[in-house]
Structure 1
């Protein structure tokens, strides 16, 4: 099994729920708690700019409305992505992927990029996010880990930048998941933490891949995953788990 350059502890969407998710404020707060690796969601604006947002629509985490991927970056960049969380973060903008890359590379932080396409744009998103990642991390010792629930996005990322590491995200162990992960040249599987067992860990590790889990917010769940020998724990509870 190849050496694994990534952290065991990964801050979910920056700092979980302590700051507005998928913002630079959240990444800074996660770093304040000692985290050196972050997970974030990246999709495309209508004019092809990669930016951070989890949902297909804007209304849960911004003051915007409608499908995010239908808006151009000029409009998206002016939205308030902090007030929904608390007054402390009022006015916090949606960050472009490039801004997050500069923050991470400038501080020696690692990143798990979930490719989160607007429905119908799976291949385009996978390809462009991979191209931007390759450019933004050029010359860095550790590239970001690209992950997605959508095999089409990972396939496009592999075609565009085959040297970037990929991981398949799973919320269930659907038929054929293991073969798909191998065909996509994945270095890891990132799945709902409840899906890991001695058998699934052995299967994945036997193929030379790593085992990562989301979203682990309880001590009993973290202890079980560590005992199973998994490799990465993605958590909202940056205030509970010390990455040291």
Structure 2
């Protein structure tokens, strides 16, 4: 079955993650959605960044929650990736919404909303007032915050990120506020997906990086694949033959890690 392609932090294999450059590259490649992360700045603005600290992806230092937007906007968020992206800035969520409106869907992950008072309410208010020409979805690992988001913005599809198995009881109870589940690919099985579909969930797998994993996820029947690069579906019989070898390589790397 066909699946929706979801660009993990934008086309982050080809441009600095969570920047307008990465999102524009994802649109150019034809992704169905971009996936991005948000955190709250010191002055309570929704900033598009994965880490709590700016050190890994900028030339600055400090926690997002301790920096104002004015301070954040001075940081270079592109040079670490490539000199070609020197001067790329950390975007605000409202900037991304305006830039990609009508071009691709957006999946917004709330990072640690339970530790950032007001994040869920601010996001819900922003999305309730924004009238996009594309589909927007919101996800988080934190169940209570997703439940709260659904109550505040019931028209925006909400979903849970999962890194552990769910039983039938939880599948049934979470359906009250979640319409999709983003699941670590190692947890996925055909039986789980069949059970989830009975409750009406869409299932997205994260984060796919190996060529054979795209084919594996397609065979399982996921509805969306979150990946760093453009979607790749092997159709060569030669590739089918070498897939077990590649999986073995990964297995031994895991043992030696």
**TM tier relative to shorter chain:** 0.7 to 0.9
Asked if residue 61 in structure 1 is aligned to residue 54 in structure 2, the reply is no
* Distance in 2 of aligned mates of 1:197 and 1:144: 27
* Partner SS, residue 215 of structure 1: strand
Aligned residue in 2 for 1:110: 105
Aligned residue in 1 for 2:44: 48
Aligned residue in 2 for 1:212: 204
Indicate the structure (1 or 2) with the bigger Cα radius of gyration.
2
CA shift in 2, pair 1:119/1:76, >3 Å: farther
Aligned residue in 1 for 2:254: none
Aligned residue in 2 for 1:132: 126
RMSD: 1.9
TM-score (norm 1): 0.87
Aligned residue in 2 for 1:17: 13
* Partner SS, residue 47 of structure 2: strand
Asked if residue 241 in structure 1 is aligned to residue 232 in structure 2, the reply is yes
Could you list the structure 1 runs, at least 4 aligned residues long, displaced by more than 6 angstroms after superposition: none
The structural deviation recorded for 1:179 is 5.0
| Structure 2 unpaired stretches of 5+ | 234-257
Comparing 111-120 with 95-104, greater Cα deviation is found at 111-120
CA shift in 2, pair 1:153/1:111, >3 Å: same
Q: Which of 182, 190, 197 is the aligned partner of 2:175?
A: 182
* Distance in 2 of aligned mates of 1:80 and 1:112: 24
Check the 8 A contact 1:13/1:38 in 2, yes or no: yes
Aligned residue in 2 for 1:29: 25
CA shift in 2, pair 1:180/1:127, >3 Å: farther
| Structure 1 unpaired stretches of 5+ | 1-6
The structural deviation recorded for 1:180 is 5.3
> As a proportion of its length, which structure holds more helix?
2
* Distance in 2 of aligned mates of 1:205 and 1:142: 24
Asked if residue 92 in structure 1 is aligned to residue 72 in structure 2, the reply is no
